[in-house]
Structure 1
């Protein structure tokens, strides 16, 4: 019996020593910002400043809003906090934001997001580091010019038939429409058509494989997946050693199989189509004999990015735009008048050029993206040591930096009455009074969103086709105003937005 007691005591002693070591490590880590002489929010063991994340009660986006408010209320232009044990630097002042995103971009060229460096099929434009990013950006930029958008516009406009058909059915059946679901089906149909050259037809098949895989990619179903996400975000080197997947393996296989099959079919049958897939296929052929060829893995990775980044962000912009237009009938009427007047001048034809002639339409979308930015935060990582303007404060190489877009967009210092929906903020008369360094729906600087033109094009097309034919109302069953869901990263509401349509 003695040896059993001795064994138990030794185990307890080892656990005690390990606990003390972990606690000491945390305490040392929590002095990081103090050692750098940078103001910071006091952390608490063991979650730092991210208690809600570990308790799974609040997502990163809305939790950052709380941290932003704490930093601003202290009068700081920047400040440090801790994601569990990892130090993160938050910027709240427009001038420092401009420095990081544009003026001193060469210090912050990386986003700092985790990706599987050992898996080339995950190397897409959003997450790769400096050298590979420069190479990819140079190659892909020509695929998103105005000319290329004009070429793809008919594909998008054709896809609105399914959307309008769903609205017609809802009117005939006197049913409300789940706006988010409806807009997601529309944007998935658009992306599948433009990125894969296929017809998903989600309105007739809501459980289509593309719709299913889109939901799977954006969903974290259990605590293990959440833990993997936390490690990937805050300790990418550890995630790499653990070989944590940055994209779900089943999603990678699905996309690679379908893209490879489509490419093979087009080559064997000499099929060419005015879509994104054709553009990157051409890019692969044009660069195959160069020093830095655009590979099949890079093609697949960036088509996946086009799908993931395109459908949910654009559906969100459409969803919230329609919601606010339904709440503000005077704004809706003004926009409809502009749409109808512009279409009359072009004999009822909607083209890429006429779409971009609608200035008030752009104001409406600008205001929707201000109040409900599709991507609520920006992240950067310092690639070399950097001294902050007019200070002696130095950021070490590898420092993670976060810029809370939604907090800036809803800050009364930069946007008076920030919760009021007012497209006139962005009118030609008023736009120059806004601090452009605080309006960042597509990021800013050299690493801004390369697909912003495409995203705006599909949102504008959807709104024009809907509002030219239908009046939008909020369902009487809805509680107004909607509440943002605190448990998710991307902007969503706690309850679905239900809209009611009637023919004009």
Structure 2
């Protein structure tokens, strides 16, 4: 009996040793990928590769990619290799190479390489994630919905939501204002009105289901953060594992809300001048499906809700910290508004150059999308090198790294909207400020996002003088979320002008 047990334990130990050896060899071979190509590699560690820098502490790829950018830049390198687990990624630092990838040689880098599952997870099959001819055809269909004419059509809806916000702030004078909460309610109202035809007024009804689902969409526990990391950075593995892109109740709510809204309008011949109406017209005039309508309306919510609310939050925070900048902006907003009977109008906002500079500088310091992703769609050789990037290789561009690089933006921690004057902008490489990406696959909704942010900031500054509350702690980026935002609440105080 003892001999049999000894033999069994010997076999188990041999099996474990063999498996360990095979896994170790697999990782060692995988970690030689970039070295064999002659690409400098940031040293990976078993078993997480270069993600060991964040996985024990959080899952923000934006913060991680900036670490890669800084290390490569300090060594004078234009690009370098890293590994997410064992999957090789190329981190591009040089703005000329970034221009090649995003614009000049775009045909080699059409796709972002993100998770999407049109069949089993229809809300994930939106313009941001889909690939190849599916993306190209959908982009062509949707581009007319984001023209300046369409933005002007929806302007009055955004202004109505801004008036709700103005009334709410007016009722909290002298108190600590959680400015992110205020901006989140404002963007909820804007998107509810412009994308879904719903008058939310979340300032009056903060517990409405539309508002609650918006909040839940961006709340991650530890396990959900891990799932999000895999979907964004290891999409093929996520598909095999069957990881869903959203919680089931969120998927059900948005699919039901959108389908019911479409049905109501079509059966009762209701038309509104909003984004959903434009999607319905697409559905009725092309082969655009109801699932595609749902996915694009959902993307409008996801992209517009958190990015714009975060941008406005940081803009107002910096204006509160810098009263001279705040006063200069207020003077411009009031001066231009006087030309339009004291009202904030579409044409007036387009004339507010300093307002645009304030928003651009905010997006420089706090880009919501801190990393841009591309995936090589066919073999590509980096210009002036013999280094071939194979089809399927993922490419990372650190927006945050570029934006905080003192070579491009001296004294980068300083909030200085004059960086974006016409003169200063002209003297800078065009691919070092990329809050909306660039090239054919830039953010299709950038005009709407900018319009919403400008209206929100202009409305607040025109009516209130802001200061930072002593309750506000230092800005620390939340390591557990995909988009760049503060883990600490930002409290401001407001008084009427």
| TM class, shorter-length | over 0.9
Alignment of 1:425-464 (within 5 A): 425-464=419-458
Partner of 1:140: 142
Distance across 2 between alignment mates of 1:259 and 1:452: 23
Residue 265 to residue 118, structure 1, CA distance change in 2 (3 Å): closer
The answer for the alignment partner of 1:489 in structure 2 is 482
In the alignment, structure 1 residue 394 sits paired with structure 2 residue 395: no
Q: Provide the residue aligned with 2:27 in structure 1.
A: 26
Contact 2:220 2:481 in 1 (8 A): no
- Whether 2:201 is the aligned partner of 1:201: answer yes
Listed as ranges, the gaps of 5+ residues in structure 2 are none
Mapped partners of 1:121, 1:331: distance in 2:
41
> Could you tell me how far apart the structure 2 residues matched to 1:426 and 1:252 are?
40
C-alpha contact (below 8 Å) 2:62/2:369 kept by paired residues: no
- How far apart are residue 130 of structure 1 and its match? 0.8
Asked whether the equivalents of residues 115 and 124 of structure 2 are also in contact (C-alpha less than 8 Å), the reply is: no
> Could you tell me which residue of structure 1 aligns to residue 176 of structure 2?
176
**Which residue matches 1:290?**
none
Task: Report what 1:78 is aligned to.
Answer: 79
Distance 1:13 1:205, change over 3 A: farther
Q: Distance in 2 between matches of 1:38 and 1:91?
A: 11
- The answer to whether the 8 Å contact 1:484/1:492 transfers is yes
What is the count of residue pairs matched by the alignment? Answer: 495
Q: Residue in 1 aligned with 2:373? A: 379
Residue in structure 2 matched with residue 404 of structure 1 by the alignment: 398
Matching residue of 2:248 = 249
Within 1, Cα distance between the matches of 2:89 and 2:207? 40
Q: Separation in 2 of the partners of 1:234 and 1:350?
A: 42
Distance 1:341 1:239 in 2: 53
Are residues 349 and 431 of structure 1, via their aligned partners in 2, closer, same or farther at CA, if it must alter by over 3 Å?
Answer: same
Q: Give, in angstroms, the shift of residue 220 of structure 1.
A: 2.7
Q: Could you give the per-residue CA deviations for residues 204-247 of structure 1, whole angstroms, max 9, x where no partner exists?
A: 23232222222322233133x33433433343222222222123
Query: Alpha carbons of 1:270 and 1:441: their partners in 2 closer, same or farther (altered >3 Å)?
Result: same
Query: TM-score, structure 1 length as denominator?
Result: 0.95
Structure-2 separation of matches of 1:478 and 1:54: 28
Shift of residue 200, structure 1, vs aligned partner? 1.9
Q: Where does residue 501 of structure 1 map in the other structure? A: 494
The answer to which of 61-70 and 400-409 deviates more is 61-70
The question of whether the paired residues in 1 share the 8 Å contact of 2:65 and 2:396 is answered with no
Q: Matched residues in 2 for 1:100 and 1:402: separation? A: 10
Give CA-to-partner distance per residue, 1:352-386, whole Å, 9 cap, x none.
11111111100110100011112111000000000
Shift of 1:49: 1.3
The question of whether the paired residues in 2 share the 8 Å contact of 1:89 and 1:402 is answered with yes
Aligned match of 2:158 in 156, 159, 165? 156
**Equivalents in 2 of 1:228, 1:345: separation in Å?**
51
Q: Structure 1: give runs of 5+ residues left out of the alignment.
A: 288-292
Identify if the C-alpha distance between structure 1 residues 165 and 7 changes in structure 2 by more than 3 Å, giving closer, same or farther. Answer: farther
Alpha-carbon distance between aligned partners in 1 of 2:446 and 2:142, rounded to the nearest angstrom: 13
**Residue 61 of structure 1 contacts residue 488 of structure 1 at CA under 8 Å; is this kept in 2?**
no
Q: Which residue of 1 aligns with 2:53?
A: 52
Mean Cα deviation higher: 208-217 or 302-311? 208-217
- Structure 1 residues 325 and 127: CA distance shift in structure 2, 3 A: same
Q: 1:113 to 1:58 in 2, by over 3 A?
A: closer
In structure 1, how many angstroms separate the alpha carbons of the residues matched to 2:400 and 2:334? 33
Distance in 2 (alpha carbons) for counterparts of 1:468 and 1:455: 20
Structure 2 counterpart SS, 1:50? helix
Give the one of 357, 365, 374 matched to 1:363. 357
Counterpart CA distance in 2 for 1:214 and 1:4 is: 59
- Partners in 2 of 1:198 and 1:429 — Cα distance? 43
Distance of 1:343 and 1:417 partners within structure 2? 33
Does residue 270 (structure 1) correspond to residue 269 (structure 2)? The answer is yes
Gap change, CA 1:11 and 1:202, over 3 Å in 2: farther
Provide, for residues 116-166 of structure 1, a one-character-per-residue CA deviation record: whole Å limited to 9, x for no partner.
243344211000011100010000000000000000001110011221121
Q: 1:434 to 1:314 in 2, by over 3 A?
A: same
The 3-state SS of whatever aligns with 1:378 is: strand
Q: Report deviation, 1:8.
A: 4.1
For residues 27-63 of structure 1, the C-alpha deviation after alignment (integer angstroms, 9 at most, x for no partner) is 1100010122211112111121111332134622112
- Kept in 2, the 8 Å contact 1:112–1:400? The answer is yes
Residue from 306, 319, 324 that aligns with 2:313: 319
Cα offset, 1:181, TM superposition: 1.1
